Structure 1
Amino acid sequence: MIYDVIGDIHGQANKLKGLLAQLGYTLTTDDNTGTGDASKSYYAPPAGHQAIFIGDLIDRGPQEVETLEIVFAMIDAGVAQAIMGNHEYNALAYATLDEHSAESEGRYLRSHNTTHERQHQEFLAEVPFGSAKHHYWLSRFYELPLWIETDAACFVHACWDVDNMAVLKPLLTEDHCLTPKALQLTSQKGTKEYDALERVLKGVEIPLPNGLTFTDKDGAVRRNMRVQWWLPDLNDKYIVDIARAASSDLAQIPKDTRAENLDFTLRTDKAVFMGHYWLTGAPAPLSPQVVCTDYSAAGPGYLTAYQLDTTRPLPLSADNFVQYVPA
């Protein structure tokens, strides 16, 4: 089996169609009734292939619903799998009232502030808040597992952290999907459930010392910074050397600021695939075990896939990447 592991799409349906064609997928109509029902059309893979979408299907792009229709048609046809990204999680939290505190009556799990509205505006422009279409796609997001593990490899949106996965497992379905109760619990800041969900869907972050902050590309003021968790021996390194952030973000951090109390170890012998990190440049494995397939399709980069042969998952190779470069 060849897994075509496809990076963050962010509503870029034309790029997705281009990449699928480049990978040898063909638009097919499964019409067992003779009615020619177009809703049964899906992109069929070459023999022996299956797509795995690594999350962040929505937000930022101009073709939100078309992207979702392509991905879920493939899932329904049994030719693809997909995991949840932080943007799908955020969509659920943005639409769900907080049930845990009387003081928060009428408040949503993800606040409707200016930054969050701006991040989510492309999706809501096509899927009006509270509409039947909105409820439908939210229900489909609940079907996306937080991670997938096969005999060959591990797939997660941001970080393969078995300790925090163990915190989440009792809250999830057998297939590692969220429930409405799990959404409530993992949205409560300051809890172990919240921290565990943040680690799996947003990666390893460290608090900046001495009250430092930076303003990210979306205009949000951040007190934590993502780090390259796939690197060895992270603790006590200079933050600018281990951070995974835009140069404009790093420029706001003093160069002599060190990471403190940062303890993370990747605890699997399998290859790990993720998205989330907005990489650019020529795609290559990040370490002997770790591949990221997010190469900024919604920004300056290209929609990217890694073709994993499950009979020979390691060693990882830059030759296995495929990028769709529009003509």
Structure 2
Amino acid sequence: MIIDIIGDIHGYADKLAGLLTQLGYEHNGQCYEPPANHRALFIGDLIDRGSQQLRTLEIVFAMVDAGVADAVMGNHEYNALAFATLDPYKEGQYLRTHTELHFHQHEAFLKEAPFDSDSHRYWLERLYEIPLWLETDYACFVHACWDVDSMAILKPLLTPNNCLTPQALIETSQEPSVLFDALERVLKGVETPLPDGLVMVDKEGTARSRVRVRWWLDELNQKTIHEIARAPNSGLAQIPVDALAENIDFALKTNKPVFVGHYWLTGEPQLLSPQVVCIDYSAAVDSGYLTCYQLDTEKPLPLDKANFVQYHHDYS
């Protein structure tokens, strides 16, 4: 079987429909039906940013409900649940605070599903159905990082299918905590502290004292921050070139191929490593393309960049 692994959609339903059609999927009146011997898998971040939030969810969940697709949760789905859930430990506050920044990040979704409306409540219930990760005999699928140690910490809180429960959402939202850190690893990736006194400003203007690292590289603790950081050059310019990464407690503990989204890559799709593939090529901006990796379950390895398919919406 061929698994069509599709990257972060972020509410761009037209791009999703275009990619599915390009891959040979046909709408049967209920959902996009795959060609023979194909199945779709969505790698998370279905929502936020784009102007077709509910149509995106309708396409994805119609396929999931028809048994022709799977999905894993992205940090934006998690954030949507936390944004709408009161924190029982902090009276009157939500698990994800309603700051101007957080509202702006979630504005596109709330515009189509107003807060606490019937539509909003319905789609939040559907988001609970998406597992945090999937593992099969042939591959591993997670939004940001395949960290089995963090997964082991989370597992007792989750359903048998690795889905959040309302209580799991509450407990993993409490910062600082071991559960919070484990959830952050799985849905947002591995980070390392910057040298004392240094901060980086991210694409949304937030100053950060930690930097995301390319966890798929070997010997992380023996490299400089410049060598392993997943950050723009403008941010790295503030960091001494000889500053070493320290105390990164991570190792990739699987021999299977690992598929992720999340990382806002650009350009021609490439393998991150002989074992790791990112399928997020910034579809949420005009210059980015919704991307798919076609995995043959009979021969998952070696990975091959020829298996990438991109929908070039600006050529259609």
CA–CA distance in structure 1, aligned partners of residues 235 and 22 of structure 2: 35
CA–CA distance in structure 1, aligned partners of residues 248 and 209 of structure 2: 15
Q: What SS does the aligned partner of 1:235 have?
A: helix
Does residue 141 (structure 1) correspond to residue 127 (structure 2)? The answer is yes
Does residue 264 (structure 1) correspond to residue 253 (structure 2)? The answer is no
1:129-175 Cα distance to aligned partner (Å, 9 max, x none): 11110000100010000000000100000000001100000000000
Does residue 224 (structure 1) correspond to residue 213 (structure 2)? The answer is no
1:62-92 Cα distance to aligned partner (Å, 9 max, x none): 1111100000000000000000000000000
Is this contact kept in 2: 1:167–1:193, CA < 8 A?
A: yes
Does residue 64 (structure 1) correspond to residue 50 (structure 2)? The answer is no
1:40-73 Cα distance to aligned partner (Å, 9 max, x none): x100000110000000000111111110000000
Which sits farther off after the overlay, 163-172 or 210-219?
Answer: 210-219
Give 2:7's aligned amino acid: G
1:180-236 Cα distance to aligned partner (Å, 9 max, x none): 000000000111110000000000011212021111111222121110000000104
Aligned counterpart for 2:232 among listed residues 220, 228, 246: 246
Structure 1 counterpart of 2:7: 7
Give 2:34's aligned amino acid: P
Structure 2 counterpart of 1:202: 188
Q: In the comparison of the two structures, how many residue pairs are matched?
A: 313
Deviation, structure 1 residue 237: 1.7
Gaps of 5+ in 1: 30-40
Structure 2 counterpart of 1:323: 310
- Aligned residues with identical type, % of pairs: 66
Structure 2 counterpart of 1:33: none
Is this contact kept in 2: 1:234–1:263, CA < 8 A?
A: no
Deviation, structure 1 residue 310: 0.1
Give 2:196's aligned amino acid: N
Deviation, structure 1 residue 10: 0.4
Deviation, structure 1 residue 258: 1.6
TM-score (norm 1): 0.94
Does residue 184 (structure 1) correspond to residue 170 (structure 2)? The answer is yes
Is this contact kept in 2: 1:240–1:250, CA < 8 A?
A: yes
CA–CA distance in structure 2, aligned partners of residues 207 and 127 of structure 1: 37
Deviation, structure 1 residue 239: 0.8
Structure 2 counterpart of 1:21: 21
Aligned counterpart for 1:94 among listed residues 83, 91, 94: 83
Q: What SS does the aligned partner of 1:209 have?
A: coil
Structure 2 counterpart of 1:275: 261
Give 1:310's aligned amino acid: T
1:73-127 Cα distance to aligned partner (Å, 9 max, x none): 0000000000000000000001101012xxx201000011111111111111111
CA–CA distance in structure 2, aligned partners of residues 191 and 323 of structure 1: 39
CA–CA distance in structure 2, aligned partners of residues 237 and 115 of structure 1: 33
Aligned counterpart for 2:65 among listed residues 63, 70, 76: 76
Which sits farther off after the overlay, 263-272 or 215-224?
Answer: 215-224
CA–CA distance in structure 1, aligned partners of residues 232 and 220 of structure 2: 19
Structure 2 counterpart of 1:113: 99
Give 1:290's aligned amino acid: V
Gaps of 5+ in 2: none
Does residue 169 (structure 1) correspond to residue 158 (structure 2)? The answer is no
Aligned counterpart for 1:308 among listed residues 290, 295, 308: 295
Structure 2 counterpart of 1:51: 40
CA–CA distance in structure 2, aligned partners of residues 237 and 112 of structure 1: 38
Give 1:26's aligned amino acid: E
Q: What SS does the aligned partner of 1:167 have?
A: helix
TM-score (norm 2): 0.97
